[in-house]
Structures are given as C-alpha cells and as structure tokens.
Amino acid sequence: MNRTFTIAAVFAVASLVEARRRELDEDCCIVYSEPNFHGRAKEYCINNLEKETAYEPSGGRGRSTGRGSSGRGRSPSSDDNIGSIKCGARVDATLCLGDFDTIVDSPREERDYECSADVESTRVGANQEFNEVHYSKHLSSVILEHHPWDTKGADYLELMREEKTRIIWDKITESDEIGGNFHHEVTEIDVSTVFDEWGDEMECRNKTLHSQGNVGKVYWVDQGGHDYTGIFEGGDSGFIRFSSTNKVVAPGEEAQAPFANIPGVMMPAIGLKFLRDGVDSANTFGVFGLEGQDNYNFFENDLTTIFPGAQQDPSDWSPIGQHFMSETNF
C-alpha cells in the first residue's frame, strides 16, 4: 500500500510540473493557487462551438453549461487567498470569487453567464496574465468566452487593404465614447507588447501613453525627390490619429502624474497606419518633444520621429525610460 501511494504521489507531482511547463493553449486559461504562477495549476478551456462556458467551484475539466447556481449567502471571505491566472490568445475569462448565474435566451437557447450578485470578480483578457488575483480553490468559479479579435491573426492579415479599412473604420465609428486616461499605468505594462505586436489592434491592455485621440482616414501622396520605396511611394488606405502624449492640462488645472512636472500643457503627437494587401500594416509616428508646448495649437510645431530628450534633471520621464529599457535602448 505504501508503495502504491508513493508512486501515485510522484505521478501527481510530475503531472503538476508538466501543467506548469506546457505551452498555454490559445483557447484556455490556467489558474494557479498561489501568486506569480506557482502552486496547483488548473486549466479551463472553451471549444469552438461555444460562445461562453462556465466552471463551477467544484468543476473539473467538464463543461458546466447550464449547471450554474446562484449560491447566494455564501461568503468567500473565510476561504479567500491570493492566486494567479494567465489566458490564451482567443479567450477572455471572468474569475468569480463565488458562484455564477446562468442567463438563458429562450428563442435561441443560448446561455450566458455572469458572477452572482455581490460576488467579487476579476476580468482577464486574451493574452493577459495577472500574477495576483483573489482566488479560492473551494469557492471560485470561472466564466470563459471567446475573445472577439477583429484585426489580428493570419486570416485578417491575408485580406486586401480595402477590406481591412472597412473593418477598422466600422470599429472606430461604432461608438463615440471617449476612453479614459491610463498614464499612471505606463510603468506597469509588459513592454514587449509595445514592440512585438502583429495586426492592427493591441493586446488586451490599456493604452497608457496617448490614451485619448481623434482618428481619421488619410492618404500618403508621394511628392518625389527621394529614393525610398514601399509605402513612401504612396498609400491609399491609411489612418491618422491625433493625440497628446500626456493628458492635456486644461486652463486652471494642474498636471497629473506621471507627468506632474512637465512644463508644457500638451505634447502633440500623430500616429500613421497604412494598410497593405496580404501583409501587416506599415506604421510610424511623429511627436514634438518630451516636455510639450505651452499652448493649445496642435500644429504649432513640427512633429518628427527624432526629437530631443527631456531637459529636466531628474525628469518625469526617467522611470518610464528605465521601464522601456527592458526592450530597447532607444
């Protein structure tokens, strides 16, 4: 009996190590019982035929579609601890610190899920990972849904530029809501997602610089006088985005961190994106400088890809520069 128990224990440990090491499936999320992706790992997946699926606190690998229960009145506080989670490229997750409710659309017999009332939840997007989340191995449930990538992946990149333009413009114009400012998160993001990106939408993270902007369609007209090729010869399917690197400081307001000591009221910048047939887009940008300008005329100064560094010492840019040096020295 002791020998049997020992072999079983070794097998369990080996299986757990393998779960930690294996590559994350793009349709799955892995929840860990401890912070920083340590402890017991449990994988939750959604298949291609499902819009959403949900796992009960006691659920294993089986789908718990239709088995959600309200579970109201159960408090997770006595069993609450800190875990961690990471999700694949095609799935979003909601981690409920308690049970979930099932919502049935009778005509279509489709099921949606949401965390029960008064249950704390954490939302995790595709390709995101949180090294600390509230998690209870006995009470937490997991809701999964396919992430609606619109302008990423091989199928999208193979499209003609006119179709890509239509898809992007539809997304731009579907809402006139102004996004928030997330400059305070700039030193918290994974810098690799800034430099190693494919397709025409970001991974699931907030835009921490140039958070708010205005977008329009644009052409690139070649005026000659150069030997450059590619998009410099002209582009008929482009977008331009006007923004300020920092939050614009309105008259009478004070600048906000992390740019509280920048002397200017705004830092004008543009982003340019030109779509191409069957391949990724060509992108570039232009800014005025790292300390901004003292007036609200967006076109007051030339915008360039090469600009002087901050003149302040120390500068508000110093911790941001240190954070970005994990990926680039430029």
Q: Does residue 88 have a pLDDT over 70?
A: yes
* Cα separation, 304 vs 244, whole angstroms: 14
The residues, any chain, with a CB within 8 Å of residue 34's CB and separated by 6 or more, are 40, 82, 83, 84
When mean pLDDT is compared over 17-26, 160-169, 202-211, 257-266, the highest value belongs to 160-169
For residues 116-144, average pLDDT: 88
Q: Whole-prediction pTM value?
A: 0.62
Over 50: is that where the pLDDT of 66 sits?
no
Question: Taking all residues of the chain, what is their mean pLDDT, rounded to a whole number?
Answer: 80
Lowest-confidence region among 256-260, 276-280, 319-323: 256-260
Q: What is the pLDDT of residue 108?
A: 54
Residue with tokens 């619109």: 150
User: Token pair 């998160």 is at which residue?
Assistant: 185
Question: What pLDDT does 292 receive?
Answer: 84
Q: Note the pLDDT tens digit of each residue in 20-54.
A: 445 688 899 999 989 999 998 999 999 877 788 99
Position 280 pLDDT exceeds 90: yes
Query: Distance between CA 282 and CA 280 in Å, rounded?
Result: 7
Average pLDDT over residues 241-263: 84
Above 70 in pLDDT, residue 56?
A: yes
pLDDT value, residue 326: 80
pLDDT digits (tens, 9 = 90+) for 140-176: 899 999 887 789 888 899 999 999 999 999 988 988 8
Domains defined for the chain, CATH in brackets: 2-146 (2.60.20.10), 154-324 (no CATH)
- Give the pLDDT band (50/70/90) at residue 72: very low
Which residues pair with residue 130 across a beta bridge?
85
What value does the mean pLDDT take over residues 70-87? 58
Residue 77 predicted with pLDDT over 60: no
Higher pLDDT, 101 or 23: 101
Say which amino acid occupies 107.
P
Q: Percent of the chain at pLDDT above 90?
A: 33
Q: Measured between alpha carbons, how far is 30 from 231 in angstroms, rounded to an integer?
A: 42
Strands 235-244 and 141-146, how do they pair? Answer: unpaired
pLDDT above 70 as % of the chain:
82
Categorize the per-residue pLDDT at 59 as very low, low, confident or very high, splitting at 50, 70 and 90: low
What is the pLDDT, as a whole number, of residue 21? 43
